[in-house]
Structure 1
């Protein structure tokens, strides 16, 4: 995995080749025990990833959080087996004590570490947590992408809704796979 921020920014200089993911945390995803619903969600992520790839996208960025971000990254890694030109970019909001926040359960930490190890590129935008770090990360993802693929319920508020709305204000096309 390449972690040098300058190399990553150079690789991502063609914004038209980049896609970002945004979505809910585990509590707003299908129940882990509902394998059918989770499989359908992964199929939607896969279909949108392949569609974006066929449209010339090569870099797939995710925000490195438990829930949809990790699920999307895992799906991209599966798709990458058939489309090896795909590059997965893991963008953590901060580095120090990242897995200490309340969202992180042991299973999600394990999955996140596997995703990080298998990513082509990885970076943390800040060394430490600060108020607003997640919104800064969300804007960074959109500002380096030409498409945002999200999983956002109709009435959701918070980071996912903010990110999709921000993308639309920046004239970045969005796809919400919540109801597909």
Structure 2
């Protein structure tokens, strides 16, 4: 697998409203764990669309991994131009800091937000241009990632070997449990 797409919940869907929330680190660790295992299989590119939440945290995880795996590349491919223009200043600074360090940055549609169709086009483009999807999604908590999961599952059923790798709440809990010292 050369190119993997990473997607998941928006921060608000997870109830994360602070950039210091401990859940962010758990998500980043889970993503890193999956990416490191894929590096052994030839992973070269991690692709995100820069959505506020799992995608940006995954991008940050990739940038951290690049210290030990300089061959790993980050692509940020947004659905439209200036997707951060309505975000508050701290979010914009965080986003722009990540985008400025990405190895590749582009937009699927070459205009500012024009309608929900741009998100659909982004999803189609990203699925066509990746070999697999790491999706932070739990069946017990529906949300925006559900649609990408359905599309990736359809691709996985076709010849060609598209891979769907899911990170669930149980996976995140296991990482949180590893972080807790054992007092018993």
**TM-score normalised to structure 1 length:** 0.82
1:60 CA displacement: 0.4
Cα RMSD between the aligned structures?
Answer: 1.6
Taking the aligned partners of 2:142 and 2:153, their CA distance within structure 1 comes to 16
Structure 1, unaligned runs of 5 or more: 1-15
Q: When the two structures are aligned, how many residues end up with a matched partner?
A: 160
Is residue 160 of structure 2 the alignment partner of residue 178 of structure 1? no
8 A Cα contact 2:84 2:95, kept in partner = no
Taking the aligned partners of 1:117 and 1:39, their CA distance within structure 2 comes to 21
1:73-152 matched pairs, under 5 angstroms: 73-95=59-81, 97-101=82-86, 104-128=87-111, 129-131=113-115, 132-152=117-137
Aligned partner of residue 6 in structure 2, secondary structure = strand
Structure 2, unaligned runs of 5 or more: 157-161, 172-184
2:24 alignment partner in structure 1: 38
Which of these two proteins has the greater Rg computed from alpha carbons?
A: 2
**TM-score normalised to structure 2 length:** 0.80
1:167 CA displacement: 1.0
